[in-house]
Structure 1
Amino acid sequence: MPEARIVWRKTLLNKRTVAMLIAAEKIYHSKFKYLQGSYNKGGVEASAGTHDGGGAVDIGVASQSPAQRRAIVLALRQVGFAAWLRTPAQGRWPYHVHAIAIGDKDLSRGAAAQVLEYKRKRNGLANRGADDGPPGYYSMTWELYLKAHPAPPPPAVPDSSISLGAMAYARTHDAMTGAWGADRARVVAWAAHPKVAAIGRHETVPPAGVPWHLHFQQVLRKVQLKFKLPQTGIFVDGVDDQMKRYGYTITA
Structure 2
Amino acid sequence: MPEARISWRGVTMNRRTVSMVEAAEQLYRSKFAILQGSYSKGGVEASAGTHDGGGAVDIDVRTKSAAQRVAVVKAMRAVGFAAWLRTPAQGNWPYHVHGIAVGDKELSRGAAIQVTEYHRKLNGLANRGKDDGPPGYYGMTWELYLKAHPPKQPVPDSTISLAAMAYARTHDAMTGVWGADRARVIAWAAHPRVGAITKAETVPAAGVPWHLHFQRVIRKVQLHFKLEVTGIFNNSVAAEMKRYGYTIVA
Q: TM-score, length-normalised on structure 1?
A: 0.68
Q: Which has the larger radius of gyration?
A: 2
Check whether the contact 1:86–1:97 (CA below 8 A) recurs between aligned residues.
yes
User: Is 1:15 the counterpart of 2:15 in the alignment?
Assistant: yes
Closer, same or farther: CA 157–95 of 1 in aligned 2, 3 Å = closer
Secondary structure of 1:23 counterpart:
helix
Select which of 182, 186, 191 maps to 2:183. Answer: 186
Check whether the contact 2:166–2:233 (CA below 8 A) recurs between aligned residues.
no
Aligned-pair distance for 1:207? 4.9
Aligned-pair distance for 1:205? 3.8
The more displaced of 170-179 and 145-154 is 170-179
The CA deviation string for residues 121-150 of structure 1, in whole angstroms up to 9 with x for no partner, is 000000000000000000100000001111
Residue of structure 1 in register with 2:75 after alignment: 75
Check whether the contact 2:123–2:130 (CA below 8 A) recurs between aligned residues.
yes
Q: Give the letter aligned to residue 92 of structure 2.
A: R
Q: Give the letter aligned to residue 154 of structure 1.
A: P
Residue of structure 1 in register with 2:224 after alignment: none
User: C-alpha distance in 2, partners of 1:182/1:18?
Assistant: 35
User: Is 1:52 the counterpart of 2:52 in the alignment?
Assistant: yes
Runs of at least 4 residues of structure 1 off by over 6 A? none
Residue of structure 2 in register with 1:241 after alignment: none
The CA deviation string for residues 177-217 of structure 1, in whole angstroms up to 9 with x for no partner, is 778698653345789xxxxxxxxxxxx94459xxxxxxxxx
Check whether the contact 2:6–2:15 (CA below 8 A) recurs between aligned residues.
yes
Question: Quick one: percent identity of the two aligned structures?
Answer: 62
> What is the number of equivalent residue pairs in this alignment?
192
Structure 2 unpaired stretches of 5+: 189-231, 237-246
Aligned-pair distance for 1:174? 6.6
User: C-alpha distance in 1, partners of 2:94/2:180?
Assistant: 58
Residue of structure 1 in register with 2:128 after alignment: 128
Matches within 5 A, 1:227-242: none
Check whether the contact 1:170–1:176 (CA below 8 A) recurs between aligned residues.
no
Residue of structure 2 in register with 1:164 after alignment: none
Closer, same or farther: CA 3–183 of 1 in aligned 2, 3 Å = closer
User: C-alpha distance in 2, partners of 1:182/1:56?
Assistant: 45
Q: TM-score, length-normalised on structure 2?
A: 0.68
| RMSD (Å), alpha carbons | 3.2
Residue of structure 2 in register with 1:85 after alignment: 85
Q: Give the letter aligned to residue 185 of structure 1.
A: R
Secondary structure of 1:35 counterpart:
strand
User: C-alpha distance in 2, partners of 1:38/1:119?
Assistant: 21
Secondary structure of 1:118 counterpart:
helix
User: Is 1:176 the counterpart of 2:173 in the alignment?
Assistant: no
User: C-alpha distance in 2, partners of 1:157/1:190?
Assistant: 13
Q: Give the letter aligned to residue 186 of structure 1.
A: A
Secondary structure of 1:58 counterpart:
strand
Check whether the contact 2:80–2:140 (CA below 8 A) recurs between aligned residues.
yes
